């Protein structure tokens, strides 16, 4: 019991530290962390909330166990004659909590044996057995490290499809005399954004020997961490492409999809990005209202090709327009900002010459949100590679992305 209390105190302490760090970094009140926190802060808060839920369930389970023991004692005291009845099937031992070490071992052993029946017993959803929490954590960490959009944008965990209704107009504000009448109006919420998580899957083929080594002697071995990192990297690549150029129907909505951003610096139909000059960069930033430019998430998203071109722009063919930053800079491999705005390099931002190709986006990425369906699930195929003693693990996740305010962005397009 004392160990559980210590764990609870440590969890609460970490929760407070995370909130304090958010408040110190942004100057916002701590309850805004779910809206304005970084992807890492939101992921940490979600994980801590899950830990607290586990503690609460354990407390409830202990209370239920005490009540059951009291009821059994009462029934035994009331029995005056032996009663015989058919034995019930033994209840399968072990919980169904993906956060428990026991669940992780059962899941691993089921994968090693290709035991789909055991995975069905462990299943807590309709789509497959949830992967162990520790493995999911490693995959999410790799998703964050390898996916630029997940670093830039807020990430929300959802448990179903949903529709968000966003504000279409602000309430009225005006100057009035001391005793003048005040005209009151409510903001309109006329824009509905439908969130439909799209399913992605990573197929990982493993030999029987590798799986046995991943299980290890007394717990999860290093092999599983390697698998998790590979799965996370693979999913990060394919999902980032959708976050960048997805059409918003069969894919998540991409921030660089040609018809999304309406505030544009248009170079002309089918004009190459190499025609971009300093005026275009400045104009793009000033397409966005100053109200959004002060946000910590105000940033450029561009290709490496675009960055290379604008960094080479010169005055009088000799002096570069954009100088290296005073601390670090090009001399130490750390570039400065572009017109005072930090930037991120997106691997899937368009570079090919095409009509309406989005070569760069600048804006407040608080208004481009990622929605992850809670929990990753798994299925196994021990049959296709059975002749070579190989098992394929399918890992599924569902995600969507939506722009909630296009006026917070500007774009340079061809």
pLDDT reported for residue 286: 97
Task: Look at 54-58, 105-109, 323-327, 343-347 and tell me which has the smallest mean pLDDT.
Answer: 323-327
pLDDT reported for residue 379: 82
Percent of the chain whose predicted confidence (pLDDT) is above 90: 32
pLDDT tens per residue across span 359-384:
999 999 999 999 998 888 888 888 88
128 contacts 222 by C-beta, under 8 angstroms? no
- How many other C-beta atoms lie within 10 A of the C-beta of residue 231? 26
pLDDT reported for residue 94: 47
Higher pLDDT, 212 or 276: 276
Highest mean pLDDT: which range of 49-58, 62-71, 106-115, 297-306 = 297-306
pTM of the model: 0.66
Sorted by sequence, the CB contacts under 8 Å of residue 67 that are 6+ apart come out as none
pLDDT tens per residue across span 158-200:
887 777 666 555 566 777 787 777 776 665 555 677 888 999 9
DSSP string, 109-168: HHHHHT-HHHHHHH--SSSSEEPPHHHHHHHHHHHHHH-HHHHHS-EEEESS-EEEEE--
pLDDT reported for residue 184: 65
pLDDT reported for residue 80: 46
pLDDT reported for residue 24: 73
pLDDT tens per residue across span 124-135:
555 567 777 777
* Rounded CA separation 397/203 (Å): 12
Q: What is the DSSP letter of 37?
A: S
In order of their start, the domains of the chain are 1-57 (no CATH), 98-169+188-414 (3.30.2400.10)
* Rounded CA separation 211/105 (Å): 12
* Rounded CA separation 57/95 (Å): 12
Sorted by sequence, the CB contacts under 8 Å of residue 394 that are 6+ apart come out as 128, 201, 202, 203, 204, 378, 379, 380, 381
Higher pLDDT, 209 or 350: 350
pLDDT, mean of residues 390-397: 88
pLDDT, mean of residues 41-54: 73
Task: Look at 47-51, 149-153, 250-254, 287-291 and tell me which has the smallest mean pLDDT.
Answer: 47-51
Higher pLDDT, 287 or 211: 287
pLDDT reported for residue 77: 61
* Rounded CA separation 186/193 (Å): 20
How far CA 24 is from CA of 43, 44, 299, 367, in Å, comes to 18, 17, 21, 22
Higher pLDDT, 2 or 297: 297
pLDDT reported for residue 200: 94
pLDDT reported for residue 117: 76
pLDDT, mean of residues 386-412: 91
As a whole number, the mean pLDDT across the chain is: 79
pLDDT tens per residue across span 53-83:
676 666 666 776 677 667 656 655 655 444 4
- Structure-derived torsion over alpha carbons of residues 45, 23, 147, 303, reported in degrees to the nearest 10: 170
- Structure-derived torsion over alpha carbons of residues 287, 290, 295, 299, reported in degrees to the nearest 10: 30
261 contacts 270 by C-beta, under 8 angstroms? no
**Is it the case that residue 229 has pLDDT exceeding 70?**
yes
Task: Look at 24-38, 66-80, 249-263, 301-315 and tell me which has the smallest mean pLDDT.
Answer: 66-80
**Is it the case that residue 294 has pLDDT exceeding 80?**
yes
Please report how the helices 39-78 and 2-26 are oriented relative to each other, as an axis angle in degrees rounded to 10: 160
Higher pLDDT, 160 or 89: 160
Q: Which helix (H) or strand (E) holds 398?
A: strand 390-403
Q: What is the CA radius of gyration of the chain?
A: 27
């Amino acid at each position: 019991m004392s160990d559980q209390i210590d764990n609870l105190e440590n969890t609460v302490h970490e929760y407070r530290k995370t909130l304090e760090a958010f408040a110190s970094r942004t100057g916002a009140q701590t309850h805004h962390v779910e809206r304005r926190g970084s992807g890492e802060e939101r992921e940490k808060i979600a994980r801590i909330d899950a830990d607290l839920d586990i503690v609460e369930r354990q407390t409830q389970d202990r209370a239920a166990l005490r009540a059951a023991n009291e009821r059994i004692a009462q029934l035994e005291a009331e029995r005056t004659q032996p009663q015989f009845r058919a034995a019930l099937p033994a209840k399968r031992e072990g919980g169904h909590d993906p956060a428990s070490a026991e669940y992780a071992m059962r899941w691993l052993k089921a994968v090693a044996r290709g035991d789909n029946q055991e995975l069905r017993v462990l299943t807590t959803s309709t789509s497959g057995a949830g992967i162990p929490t520790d493995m999911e954590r490693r995959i999410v960490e790799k998703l964050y490290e390898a996916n630029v959009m997940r670093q830039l944008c807020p990430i929300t965990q959802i448990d179903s499809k949903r529709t968000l209704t966003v504000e279409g107009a602000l309430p009225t504000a005006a100057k009035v005399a001391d005793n003048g009448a005040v005209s009151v109006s409510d903001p309109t919420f006329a824009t509905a954004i439908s969130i439909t998580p799209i399913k992605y899957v990573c197929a990982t083929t493993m030999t029987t020997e590798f799986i046995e080594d991943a299980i290890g002697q007394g717990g999860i071995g290093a092999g599983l961490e390697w698998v998790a990192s590979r799965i996370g990297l693979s999913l990060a690549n394919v999902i980032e492409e959708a976050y960048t150029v997805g059409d918003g129907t069969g894919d998540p909505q991409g921030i660089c999809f040609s018809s999304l951003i309406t505030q544009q610096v248009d170079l002309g139909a089918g004009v190459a990005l190499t025609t971009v000059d300093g005026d275009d960069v400045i104009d793009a930033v000033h397409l966005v209202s100053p109200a959004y430019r002060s946000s910590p998430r105000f940033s450029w998203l561009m290709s490496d090709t675009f960055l290379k071109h604008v960094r080479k722009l010169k005055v009088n063919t000799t002096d570069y327009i954009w100088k290296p930053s005073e601390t670090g800079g090009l001399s130490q491999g750390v570039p400065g900002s572009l017109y005072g705005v930090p930037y991120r390099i997106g691997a899937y931002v368009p570079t090919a010459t095409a009509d309406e190709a989005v070569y760069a986006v600048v804006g407040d990425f608080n208004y481009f949100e990622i929605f992850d369906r809670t929990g990753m699930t798994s299925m196994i195929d021990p049959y296709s590679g059975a002749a070579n003693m190989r098992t394929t693990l399918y890992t599924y996740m569902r995600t969507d992305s939506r722009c909630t305010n296009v006026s917070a962005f500007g774009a340079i397009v061809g």
